[in-house]
Structure 1
Amino acid sequence: MLELADKLDRINRSVGAAVRWLALAMVLVQFGTVVLRYVYGISFIFMNETVLYLHATLFMLAGGYTLLVDGHVRVDIFYGLCGPRGKARIDVFGALCFLLPSMFMIAWFSWPSVRNSWAIMEGAISVGGIPASFLLKSLIPAFCGLLIIQGLACILRDLARLREENAAA
Protein backbone atom coordinates (compact mmCIF):
# COMPACT_ATOMS: atom_id res chain seq x y z
CA MET A 1 0.00 0.00 0.00
CA LEU A 2 2.80 2.38 0.85
CA GLU A 3 4.45 1.81 -2.53
CA LEU A 4 1.24 2.86 -4.31
CA ALA A 5 0.87 5.86 -1.97
CA ASP A 6 4.44 6.90 -2.84
CA LYS A 7 3.66 6.69 -6.57
CA LEU A 8 0.55 8.82 -6.09
CA ASP A 9 2.56 11.31 -4.01
CA ARG A 10 5.07 11.66 -6.86
CA ILE A 11 2.33 12.99 -9.14
CA ASN A 12 1.51 15.90 -6.86
CA ARG A 13 5.14 16.43 -5.91
CA SER A 14 5.95 16.86 -9.62
CA VAL A 15 3.01 19.18 -10.24
CA GLY A 16 3.92 21.22 -7.16
CA ALA A 17 7.53 21.55 -8.30
CA ALA A 18 6.37 22.80 -11.69
CA VAL A 19 3.65 25.23 -10.64
CA ARG A 20 5.63 26.90 -7.87
CA TRP A 21 7.41 28.90 -10.59
CA LEU A 22 4.09 30.45 -11.53
CA ALA A 23 4.27 32.51 -8.32
CA LEU A 24 7.45 34.18 -9.56
CA ALA A 25 5.99 34.70 -13.03
CA MET A 26 2.85 36.20 -11.49
CA VAL A 27 4.88 38.68 -9.42
CA LEU A 28 6.98 39.69 -12.43
CA VAL A 29 3.97 40.21 -14.72
CA GLN A 30 2.15 42.17 -12.00
CA PHE A 31 5.24 44.31 -11.44
CA GLY A 32 5.47 44.99 -15.18
CA THR A 33 1.76 45.88 -15.27
CA VAL A 34 2.16 48.36 -12.40
CA VAL A 35 5.27 49.96 -13.91
CA LEU A 36 3.64 50.32 -17.32
CA ARG A 37 0.49 51.79 -15.85
CA TYR A 38 1.88 54.21 -13.28
CA VAL A 39 5.16 55.20 -14.93
CA TYR A 40 4.16 55.21 -18.61
CA GLY A 41 0.37 55.44 -18.44
CA ILE A 42 -0.05 52.27 -20.53
CA SER A 43 -2.37 49.42 -19.64
CA PHE A 44 -2.86 46.07 -21.35
CA ILE A 45 -5.85 43.89 -20.52
CA PHE A 46 -3.99 40.74 -21.53
CA MET A 47 -1.37 41.46 -18.86
CA ASN A 48 -4.05 41.75 -16.17
CA GLU A 49 -5.59 38.51 -17.38
CA THR A 50 -2.17 36.86 -17.41
CA VAL A 51 -1.91 37.50 -13.68
CA LEU A 52 -5.41 36.04 -13.24
CA TYR A 53 -4.53 32.92 -15.27
CA LEU A 54 -1.25 32.43 -13.39
CA HIS A 55 -2.95 32.89 -10.02
CA ALA A 56 -5.76 30.45 -10.89
CA THR A 57 -3.33 27.87 -12.27
CA LEU A 58 -1.04 28.11 -9.26
CA PHE A 59 -3.75 27.69 -6.67
CA MET A 60 -5.85 25.12 -8.48
CA LEU A 61 -2.97 22.84 -9.43
CA ALA A 62 -1.14 23.20 -6.10
CA GLY A 63 -4.12 21.94 -4.05
CA GLY A 64 -2.97 18.32 -4.17
CA TYR A 65 0.60 19.28 -3.30
CA THR A 66 -0.65 21.33 -0.37
CA LEU A 67 -2.52 18.28 0.93
CA LEU A 68 0.65 16.20 0.43
CA VAL A 69 2.70 18.51 2.67
CA ASP A 70 -0.21 18.91 5.13
CA GLY A 71 -0.47 22.62 4.39
CA HIS A 72 -4.27 22.93 4.39
CA VAL A 73 -5.89 24.67 7.35
CA ARG A 74 -7.43 22.25 9.83
CA VAL A 75 -10.55 23.30 11.68
CA ASP A 76 -10.67 20.46 14.17
CA ILE A 77 -10.37 20.98 17.90
CA PHE A 78 -9.90 17.27 18.60
CA TYR A 79 -7.19 16.48 16.03
CA GLY A 80 -4.39 18.10 18.02
CA LEU A 81 -5.33 16.13 21.13
CA CYS A 82 -5.16 12.75 19.34
CA GLY A 83 -2.25 10.39 19.02
CA PRO A 84 -1.07 9.00 15.68
CA ARG A 85 -3.81 6.34 15.64
CA GLY A 86 -6.59 8.86 16.31
CA LYS A 87 -5.21 11.26 13.73
CA ALA A 88 -5.10 8.50 11.13
CA ARG A 89 -8.73 7.60 11.88
CA ILE A 90 -9.84 11.24 11.59
CA ASP A 91 -7.91 11.63 8.33
CA VAL A 92 -9.42 8.50 6.79
CA PHE A 93 -12.93 9.53 7.90
CA GLY A 94 -12.44 13.08 6.57
CA ALA A 95 -11.07 11.91 3.23
CA LEU A 96 -13.78 9.28 2.69
CA CYS A 97 -16.72 11.35 3.94
CA PHE A 98 -15.77 14.87 2.91
CA LEU A 99 -12.78 15.22 0.58
CA LEU A 100 -13.49 12.52 -2.00
CA PRO A 101 -17.27 13.05 -2.23
CA SER A 102 -16.88 16.82 -2.56
CA MET A 103 -14.21 16.49 -5.25
CA PHE A 104 -16.34 14.01 -7.21
CA MET A 105 -19.35 16.34 -6.92
CA ILE A 106 -17.41 19.42 -8.04
CA ALA A 107 -15.91 17.50 -10.96
CA TRP A 108 -19.31 16.07 -11.93
CA PHE A 109 -21.17 19.39 -11.83
CA SER A 110 -18.39 21.43 -13.45
CA TRP A 111 -17.81 19.00 -16.31
CA PRO A 112 -20.69 20.22 -18.55
CA SER A 113 -19.39 23.78 -18.32
CA VAL A 114 -15.83 22.66 -19.12
CA ARG A 115 -17.01 20.45 -22.00
CA ASN A 116 -19.13 23.27 -23.47
CA SER A 117 -16.30 25.75 -23.09
CA TRP A 118 -14.00 23.44 -25.06
CA ALA A 119 -16.69 22.79 -27.67
CA ILE A 120 -16.92 26.49 -28.52
CA MET A 121 -13.26 27.24 -27.67
CA GLU A 122 -14.53 29.93 -25.30
CA GLY A 123 -12.60 33.14 -25.75
CA ALA A 124 -11.36 35.99 -23.62
CA ILE A 125 -12.99 37.18 -20.41
CA SER A 126 -12.57 40.80 -21.54
CA VAL A 127 -12.09 42.41 -24.93
CA GLY A 128 -8.36 42.35 -25.65
CA GLY A 129 -7.75 39.59 -23.12
CA ILE A 130 -6.40 36.07 -23.45
CA PRO A 131 -8.71 34.05 -25.73
CA ALA A 132 -8.58 30.88 -23.65
CA SER A 133 -11.29 30.79 -20.98
CA PHE A 134 -11.67 27.10 -21.78
CA LEU A 135 -8.22 26.54 -20.26
CA LEU A 136 -9.20 28.34 -17.08
CA LYS A 137 -12.32 26.22 -16.73
CA SER A 138 -10.24 23.09 -17.28
CA LEU A 139 -8.42 23.82 -14.05
CA ILE A 140 -11.53 22.80 -12.08
CA PRO A 141 -11.52 19.08 -12.98
CA ALA A 142 -7.70 19.09 -12.84
CA PHE A 143 -7.92 20.45 -9.28
CA CYS A 144 -10.42 17.74 -8.37
CA GLY A 145 -8.31 15.00 -9.96
CA LEU A 146 -5.14 16.05 -8.17
CA LEU A 147 -6.92 16.25 -4.81
CA ILE A 148 -8.54 12.85 -5.38
CA ILE A 149 -5.13 11.35 -6.19
CA GLN A 150 -3.59 12.86 -3.07
CA GLY A 151 -6.61 11.94 -0.94
CA LEU A 152 -6.22 8.31 -2.01
CA ALA A 153 -2.50 8.43 -1.18
CA CYS A 154 -3.29 9.84 2.27
CA ILE A 155 -5.95 7.16 2.87
CA LEU A 156 -3.53 4.39 1.89
CA ARG A 157 -0.83 5.79 4.14
CA ASP A 158 -3.23 6.17 7.09
CA LEU A 159 -4.66 2.66 6.62
CA ALA A 160 -1.13 1.25 6.56
CA ARG A 161 -0.37 3.15 9.78
CA LEU A 162 -3.52 1.76 11.42
CA ARG A 163 -2.71 -1.77 10.23
CA GLU A 164 0.83 -1.53 11.63
CA GLU A 165 -0.47 -0.37 15.00
CA ASN A 166 -3.08 -3.15 15.08
CA ALA A 167 -0.37 -5.70 14.31
CA ALA A 168 1.88 -4.25 17.02
CA ALA A 169 -0.90 -4.31 19.63
Structure 2
Amino acid sequence: MSLLFSFFRRSTHSIDSLNEYVGRFVSWLTLVLVLVTFCIVLLRYLFDLSWVPMQESIIYLHGLVFMLGAAYTLKHDRHVRVDIVYQRCTPKVKAWIDLLGTLFLLLPVAGFILWSSWGYVMDSWDILESSRNSGGLPIIYLLKSCLLLMSGLLILQGLSIFMSKIVYLFAPGIKHG
Protein backbone atom coordinates (compact mmCIF):
# COMPACT_ATOMS: atom_id res chain seq x y z
CA MET A 1 0.00 0.00 0.00
CA SER A 2 2.87 2.32 0.79
CA LEU A 3 4.19 1.75 -2.75
CA LEU A 4 0.85 2.90 -4.17
CA PHE A 5 0.87 6.08 -2.09
CA SER A 6 4.47 6.71 -3.08
CA PHE A 7 3.52 6.26 -6.74
CA PHE A 8 0.60 8.68 -6.27
CA ARG A 9 2.92 11.23 -4.69
CA ARG A 10 5.47 11.00 -7.54
CA SER A 11 2.74 11.11 -10.19
CA THR A 12 1.12 14.11 -8.55
CA HIS A 13 4.45 15.92 -8.51
CA SER A 14 5.06 15.16 -12.21
CA ILE A 15 1.58 16.28 -13.30
CA ASP A 16 1.74 19.41 -11.17
CA SER A 17 5.16 20.26 -12.63
CA LEU A 18 3.85 19.83 -16.18
CA ASN A 19 0.83 22.07 -15.58
CA GLU A 20 2.97 24.61 -13.73
CA TYR A 21 5.33 24.79 -16.71
CA VAL A 22 2.49 25.07 -19.25
CA GLY A 23 0.70 27.69 -17.14
CA ARG A 24 3.79 29.84 -16.68
CA PHE A 25 4.59 29.63 -20.39
CA VAL A 26 1.03 30.51 -21.38
CA SER A 27 0.94 33.41 -18.94
CA TRP A 28 3.49 35.19 -21.14
CA LEU A 29 0.96 35.10 -23.95
CA THR A 30 -1.07 37.69 -22.04
CA LEU A 31 1.82 40.13 -22.47
CA VAL A 32 1.96 39.30 -26.19
CA LEU A 33 -1.83 39.79 -26.33
CA VAL A 34 -1.54 43.27 -24.82
CA LEU A 35 1.33 44.25 -27.11
CA VAL A 36 -0.43 43.04 -30.26
CA THR A 37 -3.63 44.82 -29.21
CA PHE A 38 -1.64 48.00 -28.61
CA CYS A 39 -0.06 47.70 -32.08
CA ILE A 40 -3.46 47.15 -33.70
CA VAL A 41 -4.91 50.25 -32.04
CA LEU A 42 -1.82 52.30 -32.85
CA LEU A 43 -1.79 51.25 -36.51
CA ARG A 44 -5.51 51.78 -36.94
CA TYR A 45 -5.87 55.19 -35.33
CA LEU A 46 -2.54 56.75 -36.21
CA PHE A 47 -1.94 55.30 -39.67
CA ASP A 48 -5.40 54.05 -40.71
CA LEU A 49 -3.94 50.55 -41.27
CA SER A 50 -5.31 47.18 -40.28
CA TRP A 51 -4.20 43.62 -40.94
CA VAL A 52 -6.55 40.68 -40.62
CA PRO A 53 -3.82 38.30 -39.37
CA MET A 54 -2.99 40.66 -36.50
CA GLN A 55 -6.64 40.97 -35.56
CA GLU A 56 -7.17 37.20 -35.71
CA SER A 57 -4.04 36.63 -33.63
CA ILE A 58 -5.86 38.34 -30.75
CA ILE A 59 -8.58 35.68 -30.90
CA TYR A 60 -5.97 32.90 -31.11
CA LEU A 61 -3.94 34.25 -28.19
CA HIS A 62 -7.06 34.74 -26.08
CA GLY A 63 -8.15 31.17 -26.80
CA LEU A 64 -4.71 29.78 -26.00
CA VAL A 65 -4.53 31.62 -22.68
CA PHE A 66 -7.90 30.33 -21.53
CA MET A 67 -7.68 26.78 -22.86
CA LEU A 68 -4.09 26.02 -21.93
CA GLY A 69 -4.25 27.95 -18.66
CA ALA A 70 -7.29 26.07 -17.32
CA ALA A 71 -5.34 23.22 -15.71
CA TYR A 72 -2.81 25.66 -14.21
CA THR A 73 -5.71 27.62 -12.71
CA LEU A 74 -7.20 24.40 -11.33
CA LYS A 75 -3.82 23.41 -9.87
CA HIS A 76 -3.74 26.68 -7.95
CA ASP A 77 -7.40 26.34 -6.89
CA ARG A 78 -8.37 29.60 -8.61
CA HIS A 79 -11.47 28.44 -10.46
CA VAL A 80 -14.82 29.87 -9.42
CA ARG A 81 -16.32 27.94 -6.54
CA VAL A 82 -19.48 28.34 -4.49
CA ASP A 83 -17.89 28.75 -1.08
CA ILE A 84 -21.01 28.98 1.06
CA VAL A 85 -20.44 25.54 2.57
CA TYR A 86 -16.87 24.72 1.54
CA GLN A 87 -15.19 27.60 3.40
CA ARG A 88 -16.62 26.42 6.73
CA CYS A 89 -15.51 22.80 6.36
CA THR A 90 -12.59 21.12 8.08
CA PRO A 91 -9.57 20.22 5.93
CA LYS A 92 -10.66 16.54 5.85
CA VAL A 93 -14.17 17.42 4.68
CA LYS A 94 -12.69 19.76 2.06
CA ALA A 95 -10.47 16.90 0.89
CA TRP A 96 -13.52 14.65 0.54
CA ILE A 97 -15.41 17.35 -1.37
CA ASP A 98 -12.42 17.87 -3.69
CA LEU A 99 -11.97 14.13 -4.18
CA LEU A 100 -15.64 13.46 -4.96
CA GLY A 101 -16.02 16.61 -7.05
CA THR A 102 -13.00 15.60 -9.12
CA LEU A 103 -14.22 12.04 -9.53
CA PHE A 104 -17.86 12.81 -10.34
CA LEU A 105 -17.71 16.25 -11.98
CA LEU A 106 -14.28 17.30 -13.26
CA LEU A 107 -13.10 14.03 -14.79
CA PRO A 108 -16.40 13.18 -16.53
CA VAL A 109 -16.81 16.70 -17.93
CA ALA A 110 -13.20 16.92 -19.13
CA GLY A 111 -13.53 13.41 -20.59
CA PHE A 112 -16.72 14.41 -22.38
CA ILE A 113 -15.04 17.50 -23.83
CA LEU A 114 -12.16 15.32 -25.05
CA TRP A 115 -14.50 12.71 -26.54
CA SER A 116 -16.96 15.15 -28.12
CA SER A 117 -14.34 17.46 -29.60
CA TRP A 118 -12.19 14.69 -31.10
CA GLY A 119 -14.17 14.47 -34.36
CA TYR A 120 -14.46 18.24 -34.58
CA VAL A 121 -10.69 18.64 -34.32
CA MET A 122 -9.93 15.75 -36.67
CA ASP A 123 -12.31 17.18 -39.31
CA SER A 124 -10.46 20.47 -39.06
CA TRP A 125 -7.11 18.69 -39.51
CA ASP A 126 -8.44 16.71 -42.50
CA ILE A 127 -9.02 19.91 -44.46
CA LEU A 128 -6.26 21.94 -42.76
CA GLU A 129 -8.92 24.47 -41.90
CA SER A 130 -7.98 28.09 -42.30
CA SER A 131 -9.61 31.44 -41.74
CA ARG A 132 -12.70 32.35 -43.72
CA ASN A 133 -11.42 35.91 -43.89
CA SER A 134 -9.31 36.89 -46.84
CA GLY A 135 -5.71 37.09 -45.66
CA GLY A 136 -6.58 35.47 -42.33
CA LEU A 137 -4.45 32.99 -40.43
CA PRO A 138 -4.33 29.57 -42.07
CA ILE A 139 -4.03 27.56 -38.85
CA ILE A 140 -7.49 27.24 -37.31
CA TYR A 141 -6.93 23.48 -37.01
CA LEU A 142 -4.09 24.16 -34.57
CA LEU A 143 -6.28 26.40 -32.43
CA LYS A 144 -9.03 23.76 -32.39
CA SER A 145 -6.44 21.19 -31.29
CA CYS A 146 -6.15 23.11 -28.06
CA LEU A 147 -9.55 21.71 -27.10
CA LEU A 148 -7.89 18.31 -26.87
CA LEU A 149 -4.88 19.71 -25.03
CA MET A 150 -7.10 21.58 -22.59
CA SER A 151 -9.19 18.54 -21.72
CA GLY A 152 -6.09 16.33 -21.52
CA LEU A 153 -4.34 18.72 -19.15
CA LEU A 154 -7.53 19.04 -17.06
CA ILE A 155 -7.83 15.26 -16.85
CA LEU A 156 -4.20 15.00 -15.75
CA GLN A 157 -4.68 17.74 -13.14
CA GLY A 158 -7.87 16.05 -11.98
CA LEU A 159 -5.96 12.81 -11.52
CA SER A 160 -3.31 14.73 -9.58
CA ILE A 161 -5.95 16.21 -7.28
CA PHE A 162 -7.61 12.81 -6.87
CA MET A 163 -4.32 11.08 -5.98
CA SER A 164 -3.21 13.82 -3.60
CA LYS A 165 -6.54 13.69 -1.75
CA ILE A 166 -6.31 9.88 -1.51
CA VAL A 167 -2.85 10.21 0.03
CA TYR A 168 -4.05 12.97 2.38
CA LEU A 169 -7.10 11.01 3.52
CA PHE A 170 -5.73 7.47 3.70
CA ALA A 171 -2.00 7.86 4.34
CA PRO A 172 -1.66 10.70 6.82
CA GLY A 173 1.92 9.67 7.66
CA ILE A 174 3.12 10.20 4.09
CA LYS A 175 4.13 13.72 3.12
CA HIS A 176 1.76 15.00 0.44
CA GLY A 177 1.34 18.04 -1.71
Into which bin does the TM-score normalised by the smaller protein fall? over 0.9
Structure 2 residue 140 is matched with structure 1 residue 133: yes
Q: Distance in 1 between matches of 2:9 and 2:52?
A: 47
Sequence identity (%): 43
Write the distance in 2 (CA, Å) between the matches of 1:70 and 1:125: 38
Point out where structure 2 has 5 or more consecutive residues left out of the alignment.
1-7
Q: What is the letter of the counterpart of residue 12 of structure 2?
A: A
Residues 88-167 of structure 1 aligned to structure 2 (within 5 Å): 88-165=95-172
TM-score w.r.t. the length of structure 2 is 0.91
The RMSD of aligned alpha carbons is 1.4
Say if 2:63 is the partner of 1:56.
yes
Q: Could you say which residue in structure 1 is the equivalent of 2:26?
A: 19
Instruction: Please identify runs of 4+ aligned residues in structure 1 that moved more than 3 A.
Output: 164-167
State the one-letter code of the partner of 1:137. Answer: K
Tell me how far 1:58 sits from its aligned partner: 1.0
Residues 5, 153 of structure 1: 8 Å contact kept: yes
CA distance in 2 between partners of 1:100 and 1:59 (Å): 18
Q: Check conservation: 1:125, 1:133, Cα contact below 8 A.
A: no
Q: Which moved more, 1:41-50 or 1:69-78?
A: 69-78
* Superposed displacement of residue 29, structure 1: 0.4
Structure-2 separation of matches of 1:17 and 1:121 = 29
1:32 — aligned with what? 39
**C-alpha distance after superposition, 1:7-59 (max 9, x if no partner):** 11111011012111100001000000000001111111111101111111111
1:61-111: CA deviation from partner (whole Å, max 9, x where unpaired): 011100111111112421111111000000011111110000111111111
Unaligned regions of 5+ residues in structure 1, if any? none
Contact 1:91 1:158 in 2 (8 A): yes
Query: What is the TM-score with the length of structure 1 in the denominator?
Result: 0.95
- Evaluate the alpha carbon distance shift between residue 166 and residue 86 of structure 1 in structure 2; reply closer, same or farther with a 3 A threshold: farther
Pick aligned residue for 1:70 from 56, 77, 86: 77
C-alpha distance in 2, partners of 1:110/1:81? 37
